[in-house]
Amino acid sequence: MFESIASGHTLADTTRLLLKEGYLTKHRIVKRNNGKEVDIGGKKFREDIIHRLIRNPFYCGLLKHKEELGKHQYERIIPKALYDKANDMMNRRAPKMQIIRKVDRHTHLLKGLIQCESCGCTMTPFPSGKKDEHGNPYLYYTCTDVNHHKSASECKVRSFSARTFENTIIQYLKELGNNPAIINRCIDLANKGSDGDIKRLQTQEKQIRKEIERVTTDIKNLIETIKKGGSPTEMAKEANRLEAERERWKLELEKVQVESNMKKVKQFDGEMIKSNLTRFAQVVDKVSLEEKKDLMQLLIRNIRVSPLDITKAKVPAEKGAFDCKIRTSWYRVLINVFEIPSLPLTYDEQANKFVFSSNWLGD
């Protein structure tokens, strides 16, 4: 990443490179203020993430405190010279990168949530120079690769109407909020899978405990043999081997217990999910744009958008993805809502509504 930026590649170029190579952000577990542990990371890189990482001096052995830099106690990841060179290149491109930090003056409800699947970049707010009859600019979401490279960009998604797309996403969330049966089914399926994992881990934990007991018994027997006159040298080697084996099993036990606890913490709070989505459906048409934006940012993890050529045979859509038309272009959309697994649904263009599989509800 640092080498790419230092060599003169843009954020968009570096993003595409990381996606092509299959790199993901660091996966980790964090504990919220309420004590609940959640999984974060393990996602595709975006331009804003890369920008933040390149600017962080921690990777070259420095820690920033009150505008002052000092050495930290951890091993540095990259040389200071590489960090400086990458940041120097970023500074040279700073005027072109202001779009990342640009104030959202026109309130794009999905700012920072939409991922372009064509080239792996974030779709960013872009007000057109043209204005409607009320003097307001036409609003779009535009792939950052298109913003940087204009007509030279190979992106297939490019841009689409912001308000049209936002209304489609609002309709999706309202449909969820107005259908408790769908939410309940989602929660049941998610918790069912989690229950299976927990049982598997509990079985694994029992097996590991048996192994620890076996090795402990062997160690005790060895000690008794030494007391009865066994060869101290040979017995000491065997004791060390058994002790090392017991420590390995203890470490394995700890890993299984941590994973099991994580699975228990991650089991879905059904009432909280239903409450949030139901509340959204009730108030979304009554609140301001800024309040709508806050609500959607809380509910949606991310949205992935791919170009779609409906003149060709459709490939099977990823579970939960739906096809929709925005103005004259077709797209395949996958919405990742916090705490809700992907849903089998389609978008009925003629009826202008989402349709959820009745068979799925009865599975």
The 3-state secondary structure of 208-269, one letter per residue: HHHHHHHHHHHHHHHHHHHHCCCCHHHHHHHHHHHHHHHHHHHHHHHHHHHHHHHHHHHCCC
Scan for tokens 């779709």, then name that residue: 123
Task: Return the top range by mean pLDDT from 16-30, 56-70, 182-196, 297-311.
Answer: 297-311
| Residue range 73-113, pLDDT digits in tens | 777 888 888 889 998 888 876 554 444 444 567 789 999 89
**What's the CATH number for 1-101?**
3.90.1750.20
CA-angle at 174, arms to 173 and 175, nearest 5°:
90
What are the structural domain ranges in the chain?
A: 1-101
Q: Which two tokens stand for residue 132?
A: 């409607």
Is residue 87 helix, strand or coil?
Answer: helix
Is residue 105 helix, strand or coil?
Answer: coil
pLDDT of residue 97: 41
Over 60: is that where the pLDDT of 281 sits? yes
Please list the residues that pair with 196 across neighbouring strands: none
pLDDT of residue 33: 61
Length of the chain: 363
Over 60: is that where the pLDDT of 58 sits? yes
Tell how far CA 216 is from the center of its chain. Answer: 43
Burial 68-84 (b: 16+ CB within 10 A, else e): eeeeeeeeeeeeeebbe
Mean pLDDT is lowest, of 10-14, 134-138, 143-147, 338-342, for: 338-342
**Mean model confidence pLDDT for the chain:** 80
Type of residue numbered 16: R
| Residue range 211-249, pLDDT digits in tens | 999 989 988 888 888 777 766 677 777 888 888 888 888
